[in-house]
Amino acid sequence: MTGIDRIYKDGKWSLGRDVDEWINENHPKNGLFRVYYKKEKGNPAIEGVSLKDEGYGLRYEWYYKDGKRADGIAKGWYQGGQLKNIKIYKDGKLNGLQTDWFQNGQKYKEQIYKDGKWDYNGLNEWDQTGKQINFME
């Protein structure tokens, strides 16, 4: 997960902070890592993330073991609570089926990863109405 986001921690906003950097500084050594949506006071259109649930919904979760991303499932959600994606990690890399959904709940895409790389032969895509628009085996 890379990108720039507004990060909220200890009562302060960090504008344009790299998400991966923030995650590395805030994840637990062991156990479940949960990140929640956060709204800026006075400007609810601006969102970021927080370790504390303040009622805006769960954004993503996964596990850590010995300070590293644990093997298993990582999930992400849209702000309304709709599941956004499910990813499988092994040895710190994407490995297996990754599934993404549109915000309306319709499946958007299925991709296969092996050792962190997308398998170009494994991609299925749908439009927002559920019509399959791309299929590869």
79 and 61 fall within a common domain = no
Per-residue pLDDT of 3-23, as tens digits, reads 445 555 555 555 556 677 888
44 and 101 fall within a common domain = no
47 and 88 fall within a common domain = no
Q: Which domain holds residue 47?
A: 1-66
User: Residue 56: phi, psi to the nearest 5?
Assistant: -100, -5
pLDDT, average across residues 83-100: 95
60 and 94 fall within a common domain = no
137 and 80 fall within a common domain = yes
Looking at residue 26, its pLDDT comes to 93
Identify which of 64, 72, 75, 110 has the alpha carbon closest to the alpha carbon of residue 88: 72
d(CA 85, CA 76): 5
47 and 60 fall within a common domain = yes
The lowest-confidence range among 44-58, 88-102, 116-130 is: 44-58
Domain count, the chain: 2
d(CA 34, CA 136): 33
